[in-house]
Structure 1
Amino acid sequence: MSSKSFEEFTHDTRDPNPWLALYLDNSVPINKTTKQALLADNNSRSVRYLLPLITFWSKITMFFIHIFKFFFPKLFNSSRLLHRILAWGLKNFVSPNANLLIFRHFHVGSEILQFIAGNIEGVELTTSPLKPRDFNDVKEDLFLNHDLNLYNFVIKLNKQLKEKDVIIKKVEKLNTQMISEDQFDHIEFPNRWSNILDLRSSIELFTPFYQLFLTANDFVRATNSLQLDETIAIYTAQILGTPSHLGLVNNKHPMVPTTSYRAAYNLVLHGLAAETLHEILVNLKKEQYRDGIVTPTE
């Protein structure tokens, strides 16, 4: 659904459209293309008709896989096979809007970690950006590496902070060269008759496969990593010197993990938190342009 179709919605005061209201509202910072894709995804037939059925199937399947993995923990463990299934599923059954949101998430998350690493004086961290451009990139353990990168980043960062007796503090001249203003409209995703699944349905459908083909440690780490949203947001708040964006974080309290049965819903919140934080950094970079602190080529 394009922005034009949202703008052409008729406003019926007796029956206002909730997605039109959210489309027009600018209280939450978010990339324009992302917002259009997310709202169109939420307004899709897949959400209305398929999501309830897929969610029901997913929870039941996860319960039986949990029992199966208890007795046969090492059977079916294959990250490579899992990611080939994910790549095939994304290419053939997931809608263009949902694919855009999924692919963008890796780019956005990578840039946020790069921003933190590049704005703590006295710390030298090498990040491993994940910026997939096609479905073949998914096959390279993309989702698993995303979780590993996040935990490794937190561990390496805090080891250096402790060893070098450094604290994260407000930075007067921010390094924003790693933050891109990309609207991410240059990748053409398949739009065949079979590409109908919305974002949440896709995640609910893929989560049991994730649970089945990963080790117990990998799966638990993946689900618990979502609550590190709060940790990453706090690091950024300390660098920016303002805690205002912490109010946009819903996955919190990583020391008190939630059940893995909420993983699909929490993953969508995780994606939204990353998008809003990234847009805040994009806006800061634009302010630097206006103030002449950096040039558009930096």
Structure 2
Amino acid sequence: MNPEPEFLAQGHDPANPSPWLALYLDRSTPLPDKVKKAWLTDSSCASRQYLLPFLRPLARAFIILIQIIKTFLPRRWSHSRLLHRILAWGLKRFVSPEANWLILRHFHLGAQILSFIAANAPVAITTTPLEPRHIDDLKDELFVKHDLNLFNFVIRLNQALREAGVDLHAPEQLDFSMIRDPALLLEDMPRSRLNFLDLQSAIELFTPLYQLLLTDNDFWRAANSLQLDETIGIYAAKLLGAPQHLILVNNHHPLVPLSTLRAGHRLVLHGLSTEMLHSLLMETKAADEQPA
């Protein structure tokens, strides 16, 4: 069993209210309680409070330094397999159970969202779902494949729409068959004394490594993929006939690429946007299945 986070165990003190308890109890954002609890447990931990403020500027300084170094390296310099082995090793040994669970969930949720769009689009489009069950599954270059899948999906979908002369619209009957809660358990995540690092700190640490061991093209594509949150949100909103859901998209305009210096922070926002969109689809599916 997972222990209750401190902000739930202590309860509410009107003289000293917990901001984490307020965020957990608030229901203005569509997140299931178990996801919100894991997210806020990770966000309220000591490493994020005391370590992240030091790690973030150091990580951004390394991004600048590595960019300078890579001007003298061959253009095709890349060690993707080594990168993914290091990432999997670091996640298993140093990253918190909540963060690891959220990272694995992200692959499943992203695959389901793309499958939902493909199944309900007015054109035929295939997807390549990535659904790792264990951290070691990430060694198969899944982070890079995740970015490739997203761009390939957007290109194939819009090529098919253009050729057919149609646009995305709400179908008469939505297909939610692929939308489900991933069969991933927080209890199965590594849980040792060294598994203390929060999600944001881990991402800030891993981003310079990502930049160093991939080509510039792969790293820029990964950073720019975060700008597609709005694009995917628009696709889903069109199919749902509910443009108000775009309020949850927070990576701004896809045609304005941002600096890679903030890629770590934007990656956290990307993960949260994916969780919220999937939660909305789960809620809509449940409402759709209610008898009339």
TM-score normalised according to structure 1 size = 0.93
* Cα pair distance change 1:3/1:284, threshold 3 Å: farther
Q: Tell me the residue number matched to 2:113.
A: 112
Output the aligned Cα RMSD. Answer: 1.6
Q: Show CA shifts across 1:167-213 (max 9, x none).
A: 10112311000000347326611111111100000000000010000
Q: Tell me the residue number matched to 2:89.
A: 88
How many positions carry a matched residue from both structures? 291
1:86: how far off? 0.5
Q: Tell me the residue number matched to 1:169.
A: 169
Alignment of 1:48-197 (within 5 A): 48-74=49-75, 76-121=77-122, 123-182=123-182, 184-185=184-185, 188-197=188-197
Answer with 152-161 or 28-37: which moved more. Answer: 28-37
- Counterparts of 2:30 and 2:183, CA distance in 1: 14
Q: Tell me the residue number matched to 1:222.
A: 222
Answer with 131-140 or 1-10: which moved more. Answer: 1-10
Q: Which amino acid aligns with 2:53?
A: P
User: Which segments of 5 or more consecutive residues in structure 2 lack a partner in the other structure?
Assistant: none
1:76: how far off? 4.9
- Counterparts of 1:50 and 1:186, CA distance in 2: 24
* Cα pair distance change 1:73/1:55, threshold 3 Å: farther
- Counterparts of 1:100 and 1:212, CA distance in 2: 26
Q: Tell me the residue number matched to 1:43.
A: 44
1:16: how far off? 1.2
Q: Tell me the residue number matched to 1:208.
A: 208
- Percent identity between the two aligned chains: 51
1:127: how far off? 0.5
- Counterparts of 2:187 and 2:114, CA distance in 1: 23
1:164: how far off? 1.0
1:245: how far off? 1.1
User: Which segments of 5 or more consecutive residues in structure 1 lack a partner in the other structure?
Assistant: 293-298
Q: Tell me the residue number matched to 1:295.
A: none
* Cα pair distance change 1:182/1:77, threshold 3 Å: closer
1:261: how far off? 0.4
CA contact (8 A) 2:133 2:184 kept: no
Q: Which amino acid aligns with 2:139?
A: K
* Cα pair distance change 1:137/1:200, threshold 3 Å: same
CA contact (8 A) 2:229 2:270 kept: yes
Q: Which amino acid aligns with 1:227?
A: Q
- Counterparts of 2:232 and 2:87, CA distance in 1: 27
Q: Which amino acid aligns with 2:27?
A: N
1:14: how far off? 3.0
Q: Tell me the residue number matched to 2:248.
A: 248
